[in-house]
Amino acid sequence: MDAFSLGLDHVLTLSALVAIVIGTIMGVAVGVLPGLGSVIGITMVLPFTFSMEQVPALALMLGIYCGSVYGGSISAIVINTPGTPQAAATALDGYPMAQRGEADLAIGWATVASVTGGLFSVGVLIIAAPQLAAFSLNFTSIEYFALGVFALICIANVSRGAMSKGLLAGAIGLFLATIGVDHVTGDMRFTFGSFEMTAGISLIPAIVGLFALSEVFIRASESTRVKAVIAHNVGFRLPPFSDWVPRLWLLLKSCVLGSFIGTLPGTGAATASFIAYSEAKRSAPNRDKLGTGEPDGIVAAESANNAVTGSAMVPTLALGIPGDPVTAVMLGTFIVHGLAPGPRLFTEHLDLVYAVFLILVVVNLVMFVVGALGAQIFTRALKVPEPLLMTMVVVIAIVGAYGVRGNPLDLVTAFLAGLGGFALRKAGFPLAPLVIGMVLSEMIENSLRQGLLLTRGSFLAFFERPIALTLFILTAFLLVWPAIRWLRGRKREARNDIPDV
């Protein structure tokens, strides 16, 4: 309790609170802008954090981190371009809602789901950080492989309408991510002798091109047609509580999924949101409407990806293993101030651990306010004349694509991805499976090959590990689930067909 009140003292200072507010606003802003994500946001403030005190420095970074994961959903909803890869699943239902003129409501759903997910994961962090960290050590390369395969099923679930096209898009995504260095042998693949290609296809320029630029191309190609005028609602509208009640179970489940996946270093919020979306597709109350602008999809994706923010701190603080570049920088901030992460942190500096928890709670509350006020501005983008809006999108997309690693090839990647995205969309291919493929490719391939090195080449040994086996069985179950449901439906029909005697 003493440590808790000390932690509270750390957070309830003017500098810490100001840092939280500034960080969250910045985070939402970089999240909204496609291409600029959590990493760019953190890099921008990195030089300042060196001279800041420890708690405000952490507050600033946590604000940016959580804010950016949430902010990505706003552009996913408003312009069908996930501001960050984490929000790719949000576009699936968010954008159709905006097209119906309900962007304000969609943002409302996303905000409440994000804040709930964020707060839930802080709760998880408070109750069980050391235990969860210990559990995450049961995940070796073999379990990561099983998890990756499990997550691939999402491709089937987000390929609305055209399953074969979805699978093909997923395969393209898996393939694109193999370009560049083979991390197991160090060889180069599919670079065609071009040195620039050795850096591979970077995810962010690809997403910016696939979504933002292809959207611009699509609109440009349709400009001659007269479009139905949609009355867009501007601003921020909270969904009524009665609409939440039937979705509480879905919300809880997505929070749990996100919180758990977040504790596994290197998996990330994008994977979490796709898995949660996929689970919603299987079991949500309105699963049949998913993909057509159904809030269930937003709720699942946004609560899961924000639940990652809190739980990603679990391995970072308790083991000293950062899960992504953002937590890596935060870890650096701890170290700069002489705090070694790891089990000892929780015994020797519990007050600071509590300070992190409390910062996360405040950040999530501030995020709600920033989202509600920000939505007033962002949704107005829908009323900006289309040529102007699309020009802005192009400029932002180019800055974002180049900004990540400063490699001019990334501009070419973004442009080609834009053309590719345009062609795929025109041909009726869904884009989300492509992103899932790109996100999961490296994890699946590397963990499979590392796993085979660990088992000295035995595939059978993969099935001897209980967690991996469970995941493989779940994967198999989910693959046959649609068939089971169809069979059951037929039986019921058959039973109804029996004439009354």
Partner 1 sequence: MNIIKTVLAGLVGTMAIGAPALAQDFPAKPVTIIVPFSAGGGTDITTRTLAGPMAKALGGEIVVKNTAGAGGTIGAAETARARADGYTVGMMPVGPMTTQPHLRELPYDPDSFDYVCQAYSAPSSLVVRQDSPFQSLDDMLTYAKENPGELNYGVQAVGSIPHVAGLGLASASGAEFTFIPYKGSAPTFKAMLDGSIDMFVAHISFLTQNSDQVRSIAMLTSDRVSTAEDLPTAAEQGVPMNFPIWGGIVAPKGIPAEAKAALEAACEAGMNSDAFKARMAELRMPIAFMGGDDFEAFVKSEFDKNDKLLTEAGLKK
Binding site for partner 1 (CB under 8 A): 39, 42-43, 46-47, 50, 137-141, 180-181, 183-188, 195-196, 198-200, 202, 265-266, 315, 319-323, 325-326, 328-329, 332, 335-336, 338, 340-344, 405-407, 442, 446, 450, 453-454, 456
* Closest approach of partner 1 to the CB of residue 317, in Å: 13
Per the CB < 8 A criterion, the answer to whether 83 and 37 are in contact is yes
* Closest approach of partner 1 to the CB of residue 409, in Å: 8
* Closest approach of partner 1 to the CB of residue 311, in Å: 15
Q: Taken in order 474, 272, 443, 398, is the CA torsion positive or negative?
A: positive
The closest alpha carbon to 85, from 437, 446, 376, belongs to 437
Q: How far apart are CA 58 and CA 359, in angstroms?
A: 8
Place of tokens 């997910």: 117
Q: Which is nearer to partner 1, 101 or 320 (CB)?
A: 320
Q: Which is nearer to partner 1, 215 or 410 (CB)?
A: 410
Q: How far apart are CA 129 and CA 489, in angstroms?
A: 43
* Closest approach of partner 1 to the CB of residue 313, in Å: 14
* Closest approach of partner 1 to the CB of residue 140, in Å: 5
The closest alpha carbon to 352, from 19, 122, 55, 21, belongs to 55
The closest alpha carbon to 64, from 386, 325, 431, 338, belongs to 325
Strands (E), 118-193: 180-181, 188-189
* Closest approach of partner 1 to the CB of residue 406, in Å: 5
* Closest approach of partner 1 to the CB of residue 135, in Å: 11
* Closest approach of partner 1 to the CB of residue 159, in Å: 29
* Closest approach of partner 1 to the CB of residue 334, in Å: 9
Place of tokens 């492989």: 145
Q: Which is nearer to partner 1, 106 or 321 (CB)?
A: 321
Q: Which is nearer to partner 1, 6 or 188 (CB)?
A: 188
* Cβ within 8 Å of residue 29, ≥6 positions away: 67, 71
The closest alpha carbon to 424, from 173, 197, 226, belongs to 173
* Closest approach of partner 1 to the CB of residue 307, in Å: 21
* Cβ within 8 Å of residue 481, ≥6 positions away: 282
CA angle 118, 119, 125 (to 5 degrees): 90
Q: Which is nearer to partner 1, 26 or 358 (CB)?
A: 26
Q: Which two tokens stand for residue 227?
A: 């479009």
Q: How far apart are CA 47 and CA 273, in angstroms?
A: 31
* Closest approach of partner 1 to the CB of residue 160, in Å: 33
The closest alpha carbon to 37, from 22, 27, 24, belongs to 27
Pairing of strands 180-181, 188-189: antiparallel
Q: Which is nearer to partner 1, 84 or 446 (CB)?
A: 446
Q: How far apart are CA 460 and CA 476, in angstroms?
A: 17
Q: How far apart are CA 227 and CA 211, in angstroms?
A: 21
Q: Which two tokens stand for residue 181?
A: 């260095």
Q: Which is nearer to partner 1, 26 or 431 (CB)?
A: 26
Q: Which is nearer to partner 1, 184 or 487 (CB)?
A: 184
CA atoms within 13 A on the CB side of 63: 27
Per the CB < 8 A criterion, the answer to whether 354 and 7 are in contact is yes
Measure CA of the first residue to CA of the last residue in the chain; give whole Å.
72
* Closest approach of partner 1 to the CB of residue 85, in Å: 15
Q: Which is nearer to partner 1, 118 or 200 (CB)?
A: 200
Q: Which is nearer to partner 1, 101 or 342 (CB)?
A: 342
Q: Which is nearer to partner 1, 123 or 332 (CB)?
A: 332
Q: Which is nearer to partner 1, 181 or 474 (CB)?
A: 181
Residue 194, classified by CB atoms within 10 Å of its CB into exposed (0-12), middle (13-18) or buried (19+), is: exposed
